Each structure stands twice: as C-alpha cells, then as structure tokens.
Amino acid sequence: MLMKLAGSAAVLFACAGIGFFAASEVGRRERQLRSLYASFLLIQGDIRYQKSSLPEAFFSVSGRMPGDFTDFFASVSERLYAHESESFEQVFCEELKKSCRESALKKRDIALLGQLSGMCGQMDDQLQVTAIDWYLEQSAQILKELSRENREKITLLRRMGILAGIFLLVLLL
C-alpha cells in the first residue's frame, strides 16, 4: 500500500513538474525580449546623452546588462573595435545568428533586430536614436501581445500538468 502511494505521488509530481517546466519555457521568450528592450534603452541613452559610438554603447551594455545577450553585445563591440572590413549590419547579423541558436526568439523577433541593424549602421547619432526608438516601439507592441497570451498559456500549462497527473493516477489505480 505504501509503495502504491509513493508511486502515485511520484506520477503526480512528475506530471505537474512537466507542466510547470513547459510554462517556464513559454515565459522564456518574453524574458529575453524584455532583456533586449532594456539593453536597447541603455544603448539609446548612451548614444543620445553620452554621445557614444555604436561599439562603445554595445560594450557598455555588455558590462551592465546581465542576461542571455551579454556575449552578443560584447562580440559585436569587439568586432567593430577591430575595424574589420565588414559593415555594422553584417557584424550585427552574424553575431545575432550565433546568439539566437539557443534563444527562444522567433523569426519575427530576429527579423526586427535585422531591420534595426540595417537602419543603424550607416547613420549619424540622431538617426541611430530614431531607429532605436522605432525598434523599441515595435518591441513594446510585441511584448504587450506576448504578455497577454503568455498569462493564459502559463496558467493552462500548469493546470494541464496537474490534471494529466490526476488522469494517469485514475487510469493506473
């Protein structure tokens, strides 16, 4: 009887754990987008108020922002400081591809960042700030939609995990 009870508890906790893990993965994309949003706010501030160049702003953000994209900002900055013959857009897109392999970002998010790189690479400070403003507006819209969707998905996944565990218990007992 004790073994049956322990097995039932293990099945219930395993199913609930799977549901909670799936819910945390749904929120991962939103966390990463928020991190990028905050990073580009800092970059915009550095360019606008400190008159930093793009490599300086990216380097500054890589040291101040913890998260999944710290290495991305540092790599872009390093390559731009090295004065490689590549354009900003090319460096940005190559490093973005490397960084997004393990991220939760969707193609839409990556395409938006690619458009930003195309706008920033050949402009002066003021136009770079305007381009980052555009990106921030687009990101805010995506985050607003995603936040609304995620609340429902996260609740559903958690409940489904628990209910799946209960369903298995009913089947097994």
For residue 31, CA distances in Å to 58, 82, 173 come to 20, 31, 40
How many CA atoms are closer than 13 Å to the CA of 106, on its beta-carbon side?
8
pLDDT, tens digit (0-9, with 9 covering 90-100), for 104-114: 888 999 999 98
Residue 10 lies in a domain: no
For residue 36, CA distances in Å to 20, 29, 69, 112, 120 come to 25, 11, 7, 12, 16
Q: What is the DSSP letter of 67?
A: S
Residue 23 lies in a domain: no
- Written as six digits, the tokens of 74 are 């540092």
85 — pLDDT class (breaks 50, 70, 90): low
Residue 172 lies in a domain: no
Count of domains in the chain? 1
pLDDT, tens digit (0-9, with 9 covering 90-100), for 26-80: 888 899 999 999 999 999 999 989 888 888 998 999 888 777 888 899 988 888 8
Supply the range of the domain harboring residue 129. 28-144
pLDDT over 80 (residue 97): yes
Residue 52 lies in a domain: yes
**pLDDT at position 8:** 87
Residue 71 lies in a domain: yes
Question: pTM value?
Answer: 0.81
Which residues neighbour 152 within 8 Å (Cβ) at sequence distance 6 or greater? Answer: none
pLDDT over 70 (residue 13): yes
* pLDDT winner (highest mean) among 85-99, 116-130, 157-171: 157-171
Residue 155 lies in a domain: no
pLDDT over 90 (residue 140): yes
Residue 69 lies in a domain: yes
Residue 32 lies in a domain: yes
